[in-house]
Structure 1
Amino acid sequence: MTDSATRHGGALLTACLVAQGVKRVFCIPGESFLAALDGLHDSAIDVVVARQEGGAAMMAEATGKLTGKPGVAFVTRGPGATNASAGVHIAFQDSTPMVLFVGQVASDQRDREAFQEVDYRAMFGPLAKWVAEIDRADRIPEYVSHAFHVARSGRPGPVVLALPEDMLSGPAAGEAVPEAVLPSGKAADDDIREVLSRLNGAENPMVIVGGGGWSAEACTALASFASALDLPVGASFRCQDYLDNRHPNYVGDVGIGINPALAQRVRDADVILSLGARLGEMTTSGYTLLDVPVPRQSLIHIHADPSEIGRVYRPDFAVVAQPGPACIQLAAAATPAPRRPARAKARSEYETWQQLQETPGALKMERVIGHLNDVLPDEAILTNGAGNYSAWLHRYYRYRGWRTQLAPTSGSMGYGLPAAIAAKLQHPERDVICLAGDGCFQMVSQEFGTACEQGANVVVIVSDNGMYGTIRMHQQRHYPLRPSGTSLKNPDFAALAESHGGLGIPVSCDAEFPAALERARSAGVPSIIHLKLDPKALSPKMQLEEVPA
Structure 2
Amino acid sequence: MTTKIAGHLLVECLLAQGVTHAFGVPGESYLAVLDGFHLHREHIHFVICRQEGGAAFMAEAQGKLTGRPGICFVTRGPGATNASIGVHTAFQDSTPMVLFVGDVASDTRDREAFQEMDYTHFFGPSTKGMAKRVERVDDPERLPEYVARAFATAMNGRPGPVVLVLPEDMLTRPVKAQALSRVEPVQTWGDPGSLSTLRTMLLAASRPLVIAGGGGWTPPAAQALQRFAENWQLPVTNAFRFQDTFDNHHPQYAGDVGIGIAPALAARVRDADLILAIGPRLGEMTTGGYTLLQAPKTRQTLVHVHASAEELNRVYQADLAIQATMNAAAHALEGLTAPDAVPWSEWTRSAHSAYLDNLKPQSLPGDIDMPAIVATVQKHLPADAVLTNGAGNFASWMHRFYRHHGLVKGHKTQLAPTVGAMGYGVPAGIAANLLTGRLAFTIAGDGDFLMNGQELATAVQHGGKSIIVLLNNGMYGTIRMHQEREYPQHVTGSQLQNPDFAALAQAYGYAGVRIHRTQEFEPVLIAALQREQGTLIEVMLDPELITTRATLSTITQAALDKQAQS
> Normalised by the size of structure 2, how large is the TM-score?
0.94
Of residues 354, 373, 384, the one that matches 1:379 is 384
What is the deviation of 1:358? 2.3
- The match for 1:297 is 300
Amino acid in structure 2 at the alignment position of 1:70: P
**Residues 391, 539 of structure 1: 8 Å contact kept:** no
- The match for 1:93 is 92
**What is the CA deviation profile of residues 365-418 of structure 1, one whole-angstrom value per residue up to 9, with x for unaligned ones?**
222112112222211111000000001111111011121010000000000011
What is the deviation of 1:360? 1.1
Of residues 403, 407, 412, the one that matches 2:416 is 407
- The match for 2:35 is 38
1:260 paired to 2:259: no
**Residues 380, 526 of structure 2: 8 Å contact kept:** no
- The match for 1:440 is 448
- Between the two proteins, the alignment pairs up a number of residues equal to 542
What is the deviation of 1:40? 1.2
Amino acid in structure 1 at the alignment position of 2:550: M
Amino acid in structure 1 at the alignment position of 2:135: A
Distance 1:38 1:450 in 2: 20
**Residues 247, 404 of structure 2: 8 Å contact kept:** yes
Amino acid in structure 2 at the alignment position of 1:411: G
Distance 1:277 1:117 in 2: 37
**What is the CA deviation profile of residues 438-492 of structure 1, one whole-angstrom value per residue up to 9, with x for unaligned ones?**
0000000100111111121110110000000000000011000110000011111
Q: Out of 358-367 and 119-128, give the one that drifted further.
A: 358-367
**Residues 484, 550 of structure 2: 8 Å contact kept:** no
**Residues 359, 543 of structure 1: 8 Å contact kept:** no
SS of the residue 1:348 aligns to: helix
**Residues 98, 150 of structure 2: 8 Å contact kept:** yes
**What is the CA deviation profile of residues 327-371 of structure 1, one whole-angstrom value per residue up to 9, with x for unaligned ones?**
121012343552511110111111000111222110122221121
CA separation of 1:149 and 1:478: change in aligned 2, threshold 3 A: same
**Residues 484, 547 of structure 2: 8 Å contact kept:** no
Distance 1:206 1:157 in 2: 27
Of residues 302, 312, 316, the one that matches 2:315 is 312
Distance 1:501 1:258 in 2: 38
**Residues 461, 530 of structure 1: 8 Å contact kept:** yes
- The match for 1:229 is 232
**What is the CA deviation profile of residues 495-522 of structure 1, one whole-angstrom value per residue up to 9, with x for unaligned ones?**
1111122211111100000001011111
SS of the residue 2:546 aligns to: strand
- The match for 1:515 is 523
**Residues 187, 327 of structure 2: 8 Å contact kept:** no
Distance 2:174 2:429 in 1: 39
**Residues 60, 90 of structure 2: 8 Å contact kept:** yes
Q: Out of 366-375 and 46-55, give the one that drifted further.
A: 366-375
Q: Which runs of 5+ in 1 are unaligned?
A: none
Distance 1:101 1:337 in 2: 54
CA separation of 1:177 and 1:531: change in aligned 2, threshold 3 A: same
Amino acid in structure 1 at the alignment position of 2:330: C
Alignment of 1:146-545 (within 5 A): 146-335=149-338, 337-339=340-342, 340-402=345-407, 403-428=412-437, 430-538=438-546, 541-542=549-550
Distance 2:133 2:5 in 1: 25
What is the deviation of 1:171? 1.3
Distance 2:328 2:58 in 1: 27
RMSD: 1.5
**Residues 196, 330 of structure 1: 8 Å contact kept:** no
SS of the residue 2:166 aligns to: strand
Of residues 2, 7, 11, the one that matches 1:10 is 7
What is the deviation of 1:187? 3.4
Distance 1:272 1:70 in 2: 31
What is the deviation of 1:181? 3.3
Distance 2:51 2:185 in 1: 33
Amino acid in structure 2 at the alignment position of 1:250: Y
Distance 2:372 2:25 in 1: 39
SS of the residue 2:135 aligns to: strand
Alignment of 1:24-173 (within 5 A): 24-43=21-40, 44-125=43-124, 126-173=129-176
> Normalised by the size of structure 1, how large is the TM-score?
0.97
CA separation of 1:221 and 1:482: change in aligned 2, threshold 3 A: same
What is the deviation of 1:258? 0.3
**Residues 77, 117 of structure 1: 8 Å contact kept:** yes
Distance 1:539 1:334 in 2: 50
What is the deviation of 1:184? 1.9
SS of the residue 2:406 aligns to: coil
**Residues 92, 158 of structure 1: 8 Å contact kept:** yes
Distance 1:84 1:442 in 2: 17
SS of the residue 1:445 aligns to: helix
